[in-house]
């Protein structure tokens, strides 16, 4: 026995809406997504004139192309010479590479006692199942300490270059933010809602399991950073700024780098002065093992995630 | 192990840590931290120098629980400790001397980032001086490059943006070549630690195996570092970068950043390859030729310059030429002369930049020559300091430059092919130096004539009390120069002693 629905009730069912969508009678975008049509790219006459004037002034004043024979000759010379130089460099490097030891031979100079100890004793000495992590965060930790500061200082230079601190700059940039793109895109938001939590959790997993398997701070941090950028794109700055502002980034990266420096200072100091380190290595394979490596991975992960996100925000609107 | 032996490690980690610290502080706090860190690092380097002079032997400091070929290590000798101390002193004086400009020229909210750059630059210089590991050196070369870019562009004018773009492109080319060289060397020797590479390279040289890649690797590293330290044909980035960035940046870049790479090159010659093998390859001749060309061409460019800061910058190109010429001689005396010139040039060039900023302050912030007329009377201390710096650069006795020119000619003396070109180039370069530096000194001490006033930028009188920080820095710089010029004997002995144990 079937139940008869009134037209009104029928219109509210999923199957009715699905059929209409299938027929193309209903556009899921209309009335749901805030759409702004893209403006065609156009410049007013003033800007064009300004640009042409600038270029002409550049030619006249700075290079003085008509009268300055040296510059003209140099330009021609430069084109030829740069090509020749590149060809020379390519040929020289290829020739030099052909004289190097054959790749993959067992008796190559690179297969010496250094690599042997990393592979044979790495697990025992660092407690990390993933010997690459053991190498970069324990055997050669000083290099990695420098490397994470390279990321930090790169962010600082991007901040110098792109952060809009003057009020008028900021207002202009912030009002310009994504004029040409749809806001509150339902598809993007739904996908982000489904994808962002697994991405973040996966990133955290990659960081935490860096000493157990492939992964570590650099790769895990990049995953988390990508997740944050996706979230930002779907939901806008209003949502992300509730938990991630510039102040958060400052404190986070300071805390992470300070923790990194302190932890490594301890191990460098004890190592150089032949003091027994009190940090236990734990059982290899357990999550809480391999001494400081887990903490260092977390610090590196925080720095990398913050760096990626900050780069994106700076390039998009110059502040957050 | 004595507690003092920890100091190099402390100073590196302290300056590294102060980078992120300045990031969370405001401008004032960051400035204080910066000055405190440079002072602390300087004091520690001084203590280390005293200790190493006492024992006379360099020592190795393991960074971590794993000994040398597996872990990282740093190596501290007389030369390293002295250079670290000297770099700290110059950096401190440059930062103090330009503190006024840092406040005025940089955007208030970004000033703390400036100190982040300076702190990490100090860290990278210390690490480059102390490290005994080729890859660690590369990592800190990266930090050095990026922070130098930041130092140039933080003034945020069109010229500095252009200059930092140029600097970045050239410098990345240099870094790339250096990295390729290191990769080649690792493939041939299987080590990254400098002392171990040297053992393997000696074996390779004896057996004659892999001769070509070895030479290519040495060439790549030398050319990479030459580009980064602005040897003559690769100097295109330099004049704008030094000429338009803020004063402290210009002083630090010219006297420290390029010198860090030169120290690394000496390290590669002595500790990684071995100077005998370097001499057997033709690399030294190439450096010699480019050094000589740089000595002359840099000065010629400087003569044609109508902007005082750019003129000083072009003079740096000539001085870098001197240093590479010293390497090119291929003798220990030549390298000692080069290292002495590194010291002289660092002390003098930072003095000149700070003094030039005092002179231009008194001339309505104009850099053009015409506006500088009589500036030596308007700002007496800066005028005197500029004169001292110019005389030192030209090589007048009692100032520091004289000693280094003397050392260069002594090193060249008796050399079979290179004596004549070196002496001739030194003579020509000295005359050219005198032309443009004395031209400037005469200009700033020419009284302003009647009727000339309207054409010039509006100048004003500046007393030494008005800019106390700059005055203190200038007085210290002058004394440093006189000290280097009048009492050079112990320093030359120290460099010689350090270089003997450097390899």
Same domain, yes or no: A88 and A185: no
| Domain assignment of residue A152, yes or no | yes
Judge contact between A93 and B217, C-beta under 8 A.
no
- CB proximity A246 to B under 8 Å: no
User: How would DSSP label each residue in B168-207?
Assistant: HHHHHHHHHHHHHHHHHHHHHHS--BHHHHHHHHHHHHHH
pLDDT single digits (tens) B209-230: 888 899 999 999 999 999 999 9
Taking phi over 0 as left and psi of -120 to 50 as alpha, with beta for the rest, A180 belongs to: alpha
CA distance B473 to B93: 5
Q: Which residues of A touch B142 (CB under 8 A)?
A: 146, 150
pLDDT bucket at A34, cuts 50 / 70 / 90: low
User: How would DSSP label each residue in B279-343?
Assistant: HHSTHHHHHHHHHHHHHHHHHHHHHT--BHHHHHHHHHHHHHHHHHHHHHT-SHHHHHHHHHHHH
Residues 12-41 of chain B whose Cβ lies under 8 A from any Cβ of chain A: 13, 16-17, 19-21, 23-24
- CB proximity A258 to B under 8 Å: yes
The residues that bridge with B64 in the sheet, in sequence order, are none
| Domain assignment of residue A197, yes or no | yes
Interface probe with B: pick from A120, A142, A259, most Cβ of B within 10 Å = A142
Same domain, yes or no: A242 and A287: yes
Which of A101-115, A224-238, B145-159, B295-309 is least confident?
Answer: A101-115
- A62-81 mean pLDDT: 82
Cα-based angle B92, B94, B95 (whole degrees, multiple of 5): 65
Q: Hunting for tokens 């090193």 — which residue is that? A: B411
Same domain, yes or no: A173 and A313: yes
Give the mean pLDDT of chain A: 85
Q: Nearest Cα to B304, choosing from B432, B428, B430? A: B432
Residues 55-74 of chain B whose Cβ lies under 8 A from any Cβ of chain A: 61-66, 69-72
Res. A87: pLDDT tops 80: yes
Tell me which DSSP letter residue B63 carries.
E
Q: What is the 3-state secondary structure (H, E, C) of B86-101?
A: HHHHHHHHHHHHCHHH
- CB proximity A38 to B under 8 Å: no
Instruction: Nearest chain A residue to B14 by CA: give it.
Output: A261
Res. B454: pLDDT tops 60: yes
| Domain assignment of residue A249, yes or no | yes
- A125-132 mean pLDDT: 85
Structural domain span for residue A209: 129-317
Instruction: Nearest chain B residue to A103 by CA: give it.
Output: B187
Question: How many other C-beta atoms can be found within 10 angstroms of the C-beta atom of residue B26?
Answer: 12
Judge contact between A235 and A188, C-beta under 8 A.
no
For residue A250, give the nearest of B24, B135, B140 by CB distance. B24
Q: Which residues of A touch B19 (CB under 8 A)?
A: 149, 152-153, 257
Interface probe with B: pick from A149, A162, A262, A267, most Cβ of B within 10 Å = A149
- CB proximity A17 to B under 8 Å: no
Beta strands B59-63 and B72-76 are antiparallel
Same domain, yes or no: A158 and A272: yes
Same domain, yes or no: A150 and A228: yes
Q: Which residues of A touch B117 (CB under 8 A)?
A: 153, 156-157
Q: Hunting for tokens 């990659």 — which residue is that? A: A206
Same domain, yes or no: A74 and A142: no
Q: Nearest Cα to B344, choosing from B330, B326, B332, B361? A: B326
Domains in chain A, number: 2
Side-chain-facing half-sphere of B182: CA atoms under 13 Å: 22
pLDDT single digits (tens) B304-346: 888 999 999 999 999 999 999 999 998 999 999 999 999 999 9
Judge contact between B407 and B343, C-beta under 8 A.
no
- Please judge whether B64 and A142 are an interchain contact, meaning their C-beta atoms are less than 8 angstroms apart: yes
pLDDT single digits (tens) B133-191: 999 999 999 999 999 999 999 988 888 999 999 999 999 999 999 999 999 999 999 88
Instruction: Nearest chain A residue to B124 by CA: give it.
Output: A146
CA distance B329 to B326: 5
| Domain assignment of residue A105, yes or no | no
CA distance A171 to B33: 33
- A275-293 mean pLDDT: 80
Instruction: Nearest chain B residue to A98 by CA: give it.
Output: B213
> Which two three-digit tokens encode residue A153?
């200082």
CA distance B109 to B27: 7
Same domain, yes or no: A172 and A313: yes
Instruction: Nearest chain A residue to B157 by CA: give it.
Output: A161
| Domain assignment of residue A26, yes or no | no
Same domain, yes or no: A161 and A52: no
> Which two three-digit tokens encode residue B4?
């003092």
ipTM: 0.91
CA distance B124 to B77: 18
| Domain assignment of residue A159, yes or no | yes
pLDDT single digits (tens) B408-451: 999 998 888 889 999 999 999 999 999 999 999 999 998 888 77
Judge contact between A294 and A205, C-beta under 8 A.
no
| Domain assignment of residue A179, yes or no | yes
Same domain, yes or no: A65 and A150: no
> Which two three-digit tokens encode residue B335?
């390298």
Last residue of a domain, one of A54, A80, A98: A98
Same domain, yes or no: A209 and A79: no
- CB proximity B216 to A under 8 Å: yes
> Which two three-digit tokens encode residue B477?
């710089």
Judge contact between B110 and A160, C-beta under 8 A.
yes
For B307, phi then psi, to 5°, come to: -130, 125
Same domain, yes or no: A232 and A283: yes
| Domain assignment of residue A37, yes or no | no
pLDDT bucket at A181, cuts 50 / 70 / 90: low
Q: Which residues of B touch A262 (CB under 8 A)?
A: 17
Same domain, yes or no: A300 and A177: yes
């Amino acid at each position: 026995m079937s139940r008869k629905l009134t037209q009104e009730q029928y219109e509210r069912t999923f199957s009715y809406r699905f059929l209409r969508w299938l027929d193309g009678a209903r556009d899921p975008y209309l009335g749901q997504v805030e759409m702004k049509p893209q403006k065609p790219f156009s410049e007013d006459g003033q800007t064009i004139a300004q640009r042409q004037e600038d270029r002409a002034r550049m030619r006249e004043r700075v290079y003085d192309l008509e009268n300055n024979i040296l510059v003209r000759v140099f330009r021609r010379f430069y084109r030829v010479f740069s090509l020749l130089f590149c060809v020379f460099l390519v040929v020289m490097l290829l020739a030099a590479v052909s004289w190097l030891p054959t790749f993959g031979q067992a008796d190559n100079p690179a297969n010496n006692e250094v690599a042997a100890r990393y592979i044979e004793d790495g697990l025992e000495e660092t407690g990390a199942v993933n010997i690459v992590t053991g190498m970069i965060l324990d055997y050669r930790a000083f290099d990695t300490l420098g490397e994470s500061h390279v990321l930090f200082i790169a962010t600082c230079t991007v901040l110098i270059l792109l952060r809009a601190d003057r009020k008028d700059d900021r207002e202009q940039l912030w009002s310009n933010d994504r004029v040409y793109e749809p806001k509150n895109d339902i598809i993007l938001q739904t996908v982000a809602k489904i994808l962002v939590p697994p991405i973040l959790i996966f990133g955290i997993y990659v960081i935490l399991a860096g000493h157990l398997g492939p992964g570590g701070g650099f790769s895990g941090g990049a995953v988390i950073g990508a997740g944050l950028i996706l979230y930002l794109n779907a939901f806008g700055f209003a949502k992300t700024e509730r938990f991630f502002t510039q102040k958060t980034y400052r404190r986070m990266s300071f805390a992470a780098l300070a923790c990194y420096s302190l932890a490594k200072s301890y191990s460098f100091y004890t190592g150089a002065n032949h003091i027994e380190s009190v940090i236990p290595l734990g059982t290899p394979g357990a999550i809480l093992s391999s001494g400081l490596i887990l903490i260092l991975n977390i610090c590196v992960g925080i720095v990398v995630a913050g760096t990626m996100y900050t780069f994106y925000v700076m390039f998009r609107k110059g502040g957050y | 192990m004595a507690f003092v032996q920890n100091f190099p490690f402390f100073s590196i980690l302290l300056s590294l840590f102060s980078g992120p610290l300045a990031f969370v502080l405001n401008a004032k706090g960051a400035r204080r931290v910066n000055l405190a860190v440079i002072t602390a690092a300087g004091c520690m380097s001084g203590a280390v120098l005293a200790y190493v002079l006492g024992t006379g032997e360099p020592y190795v400091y393991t960074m971590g629980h794993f000994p040398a070929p597996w872990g990282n290590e740093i190596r501290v000798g007389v030369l390293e400790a002295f250079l670290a101390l000297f770099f700290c002193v110059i950096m401190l004086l440059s930062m103090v001397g330009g503190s006024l400009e840092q406040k005025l020229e940089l955007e208030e909210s970004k000033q703390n980032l400036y100190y982040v750059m300076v702190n990490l630059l100090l860290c990278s210089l210390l690490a480059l001086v102390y490290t005994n590991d080729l890859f660690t050196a590369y990592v800190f070369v990266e930090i050095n490059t990026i922070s130098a870019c930041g130092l140039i562009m933080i003034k945020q004018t069109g010229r500095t943006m252009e200059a930092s773009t140029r600097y970045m492109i050239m410098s990345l080319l240099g870094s790339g070549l250096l990295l390729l060289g290191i990769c080649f060397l690792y493939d041939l020797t299987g080590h990254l630690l400098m002392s171990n590479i040297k053992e393997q390279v000696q074996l390779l040289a004896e057996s004659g195996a892999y001769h070509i890649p070895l030479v290519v690797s040495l060439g790549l590293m030398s050319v990479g570092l030459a580009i980064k330290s602005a040897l003559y044909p690769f100097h295109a980035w330099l004049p704008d970068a030094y000429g338009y960035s803020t004063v402290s940046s210009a002083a630090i870049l010219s006297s420290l950043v390029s010198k860090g790479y030169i120290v690394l090159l000496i390290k590669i010659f002595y500790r990684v390859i071995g100077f005998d093998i370097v001499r057997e390859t033709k690399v030294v001749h190439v450096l010699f030729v480019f050094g000589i060309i740089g000595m002359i061409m840099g000065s010629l460019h400087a003569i044609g310059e109508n902007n005082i800061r750019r003129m000083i910058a072009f003079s740096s190109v000539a001085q870098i030429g001197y240093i590479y010429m010293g390497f090119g001689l291929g003798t220990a005396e030549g390298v000692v002369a080069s290292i002495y010139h590194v010291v002289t040039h660092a002390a003098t060039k930072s003095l000149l930049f700070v003094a030039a900023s005092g002179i231009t302050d008194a001339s309505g912030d104009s850099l053009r020559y015409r506006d500088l007329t009589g500036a030596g009377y308007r700002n007496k201390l800066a005028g005197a300091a500029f004169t001292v710096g110019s005389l030192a650069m030209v090589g007048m006795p009692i100032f520091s430059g004289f000693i280094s020119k003397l050392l260069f000619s002594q090193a060249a003396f008796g050399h079979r092919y290179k004596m004549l070109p070196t002496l001739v180039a030194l003579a020509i370069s000295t005359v050219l130096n005198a032309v443009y530096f004395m031209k400037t000194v005469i200009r700033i001490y020419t009284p302003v004539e009647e009727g000339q006033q309207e054409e010039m930028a509006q100048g004003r009188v500046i007393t030494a009390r008005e800019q106390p920080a700059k005055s203190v820095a200038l007085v210290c710089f002058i004394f440093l120069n006189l000290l280097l010029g009048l009492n050079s004997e112990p320093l030359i002995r120290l460099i010689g002693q350090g270089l003997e144990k450097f390899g």
